[in-house]
Amino acid sequence: MTDANRVLIFDTTLRDGEQSPGATMSHAEKLEIASLLDEMGVDIIEAGFPIASEGDFAAVSEIARAAQNATICGLARANFKDIDRCWEAVKHAKSPRIHTFIGTSPLHRQIPNLTQDEMAERIHETVTHARNLCDNVQWSPMDATRTEFDYLCRVIEIAIKAGASTINIPDTVGYTAPRESAELIRRLIAEIPGAADVVFATHCHNDLGMATANSLAAVEAGARQIECTINGLGERAGNTALEEVVMAVKTRHDIMPFTTGVDTTKIMHISRRVATVSGFAVQPNKAIVGKNAFAHESGIHQDGMLKNPENFEIMRPEDVGLSATNLVMGKHSGRAALRSKLAELGYEMGDNQLKDVFVRFKELADRKKEVFDDDLVALMRDASTDPADEYLKVKFLRVVCGTQAPQSADITLTVAGEDQQATAQGDGPVDAAFNAVKAIYPHNARLQLYQVHAVTEGTDAQATVTVRMEEDGVLATGEAADTDTVVASAKAYVTALNRLRVRKEKLGGKDTREVSYKDAG
Ligand code: KIV
Ligand code: ZN
């Protein structure tokens, strides 16, 4: 094993991941995710797109100031204004990086309407400008996998000569396949003068479900940086999933002798946090982080597992931060047991926070005989400390439902500390509850997503409800858990409304993504 086999992990959950429609994260949530990424040993964190909005700029700046280990990177299109703004945000980091890009394929060249020569000149100017500001510059030819090979070589050579030290090869539309991905990297490294002196990165989208395979193939061909997101979060079908590449090289070290600096035991916790704050639940059968990824533990393979876990396990649950034993908590469990269980699940907390959580845990344990790990995670998701979530609160809810329509809801909300009551009817109890909220807090937001998940098995299981709302292009997601699905729904709904209110105030009604890649030239 040599250092030549060390692969850098570049996480873009907060930039490319957050770009997926609806995946909005609050400022506090972005800082939390960045700190978890930093702690888990990710090498480079792409913290955002600073020119896109004041919010993005503030988040990148603060993440840059706070990062302890990781390089902090910001994205910039190929113009001086973007690059300057990016530098202003990342310069606070111990190790800053500017990532600048332009679409180089025939289709993408048409967007800024530049000839090949004009674009080559633009690349020279912008990479030089970025390099004058920052020692660490990454350059990407967007849609590289659909760019003519000769032109791709030409512009990469220009970027290297202008001072880029990382060349990223994006498969922007998820078009490539493993053999082709490897071949492209191999040829670029072999044929471009100066290629041996820079790091080649691979950035794959998952439109054909091949992102992880394409990334690993690129590494086998010489790429030494993988760009990825937690849970594969990202536009359309998403990006390469961090947990997949990291666990693949760890588990199949025999055929892929690469290493990363990621502490894999932190994977489960960050995966759950990203699912919560982005509002994108992880599908149960998702590799590594899905609820069923280790389900054989308690399923039909139990006998084989007891004889030898390797019969059915290619990696241990502990390796990704799942506890080996799912110690069940109940109403007799004490505060110390709760603290240690939560720490095991990745939640460290001070005495005051523990006090609140303990009260909520006892309430849950009274309603539910056995409290499983997943119940505690749902409880923690619900225990928001974000002041934005305090404006509207559900204090009381009673619904009348059944076969006899109409269903109705009687609700008391605390609005800025004052109780207000309303009764409304609806098409089902959830609709009635939402109508009652609207009667107290009128709004024009549109419901974009309403999702219910049972946290564990059994009819007394908690339901986790996710609600996504949109108004004037601004999106916000709320999530809540309760053994009563209608209560969880009403709580998630008001959380989404609270967040929408704060976002709209901050943005003055503008979407954070007002700046699009269409202006990439
Ligand atoms: O997919 C892509 O091309 C990108 C670039 C901005 C690197 O995300
Ligand atoms: Zn991308």
Beta bridge pairs of residue 478: 467
For the Cβ of 16 lying below 6 angstroms from any atom of ligand 1, the answer is: yes
Nearest partner of 360 among 392, 340, 345, 382, judged by Cα: 382
Helix, strand, or coil here: 306? helix
How far, in Å, from the CA of 292 to the mean position of ligand 1?
A: 31
Ligand 2 is an ion; residues with CB less than 5 A from it: 16
Q: pLDDT of 132-157, one tens digit each?
A: 999 999 999 999 999 999 999 999 99
For the Cβ of 105 lying below 6 angstroms from any atom of ligand 1, the answer is: no
How far, in Å, from the CA of 121 to the mean position of ligand 1?
A: 20
Helix, strand, or coil here: 8? strand
Beta strands 418-426 and 407-415 are antiparallel
Q: How far apart are CA 482 and CA 505, in angstroms?
A: 29
For the Cβ of 271 lying below 6 angstroms from any atom of ligand 1, the answer is: no
How far, in Å, from the CA of 10 to the mean position of ligand 1?
A: 13
Q: pLDDT of 35-55, one tens digit each?
A: 999 999 999 999 999 999 999
Q: How far apart are CA 116 and CA 149, in angstroms?
A: 13
Q: What are phi and psi of 275, to 5 degrees?
A: -60, -45
Q: Give the full edge-to-edge strand order of the sheet including 474-482.
A: 446-454, 463-471, 474-482
Report yes or no: 293 and 300 within 8 Å, Cβ to Cβ.
no
For the Cβ of 101 lying below 6 angstroms from any atom of ligand 1, the answer is: yes
Q: pLDDT of 155-214, one tens digit each?
A: 999 999 999 999 999 999 999 999 999 999 999 999 999 999 999 999 999 999 999 999
Residue with the nearest Cα to atom 2 of ligand 1?
172
For the Cβ of 136 lying below 6 angstroms from any atom of ligand 1, the answer is: no
Instruction: Count CB-CB contacts under 10 A for residue 368.
Output: 19
Q: Token digits for 161?
A: 């000569």
How far, in Å, from the CA of 204 to the mean position of ligand 2?
A: 7
- Which of 203, 206, 214 is the pocket-test mutation for ligand 1 (most atoms within 8 Å of CB)? 203
Supply the pTM of this predicted model: 0.80
Residues above pLDDT 70, as percent of the chain: 91
Q: Which ligand is nearest to the CA of 517?
A: 1
For the Cβ of 12 lying below 6 angstroms from any atom of ligand 1, the answer is: no
Helical packing angle, 211-220 and 242-251, nearest 10°: 50
Q: How far apart are CA 94 and CA 397, in angstroms?
A: 50
Radius of gyration of the chain (CA): 24
Helix, strand, or coil here: 252? coil
How far, in Å, from the CA of 108 to the mean position of ligand 1?
A: 12
For the Cβ of 225 lying below 6 angstroms from any atom of ligand 1, the answer is: no
Residue 516 CB burial class (10 angstroms; 0-12, 13-18, ≥19): exposed
Q: What is the pLDDT of residue 266?
A: 96
Q: What is the mean pLDDT of the chain?
A: 90
Q: Token digits for 178?
A: 């493993």
Q: What is the pLDDT of residue 309?
A: 66
Q: pLDDT of 236-284, one tens digit each?
A: 999 999 999 999 999 999 999 999 999 999 999 999 999 988 888 899 8
Report yes or no: 163 and 179 within 8 Å, Cβ to Cβ.
no
For the Cβ of 23 lying below 6 angstroms from any atom of ligand 1, the answer is: no
C-alpha distances (whole Å) from 313 to each of 245, 305, 308, 324, 509 are 18, 8, 9, 12, 50
Residue with the nearest Cα to atom 1 of ligand 1?
172
Residue with the nearest Cα to atom 5 of ligand 1?
142
